[in-house]
Structure 1
């Protein structure tokens, strides 16, 4: 199918999707370069730097969901959002449980080496 064979609606959808990808790419690039710039050239405290890096990471997750995976709060897309939230919950439970077990074993086996 060539570009001339596309209807006006298909051309509109294609340009809208391309615009979405370009906006997402620019936002993702900004959200990636910002933490690098802050760490390299800023005199902020480490806690502030970590906070900015974490905020940029969370915003970038939202940008990827919205602009690249096309997950939105629209009615027909809610099932996708529920699937992603459930997957996130399972990952948080697995990672949190693993860290809990490892730190508990660490405190039981090597209490003299605890940093606190």
Structure 2
């Protein structure tokens, strides 16, 4: 490899490194969205003017949106590149395994406790 090819490769890797970590602007957008998506359910609960069902569904919906914001703005997962798709599917598979392990463990503990009580 010649010196110019090495320099070009190093420059491409540097650009890729900068793109994969995001900028101050993307972190600020993510932070502001996270604060808003936290403040709305908090305000709904503190206000108490909404029904329990409306409050619960609002919290769940805004929590899902906040998960997406964290994945996009802080973890930089996207579907635009092949590497982004692979990272996203890896993350989703890991999350599925964790949810299954925790959920099934809680279910087993709950059922064991219920059987011990009778």
Superposition TM-score, scaled by structure 1 size: 0.75
Q: Which runs of 5+ in 1 are unaligned?
A: 1-9, 112-116
Aligned to 1:34: 40
Q: Which runs of 5+ in 2 are unaligned?
A: 1-14
Aligned to 1:58: 64
1:98 to 94, 101, 105: 105
Deviations 1:51-107 (A, max 9, x none): 211111111110011011111111231121012111101111111111220121122
Aligned to 1:5: none
**Aligned residues between the structures:** 99
Q: CA RMSD in A?
A: 2.0
> Could you list the runs of 4 or more consecutive aligned residues of structure 1 that deviate by over 4 angstroms after TM superposition?
none
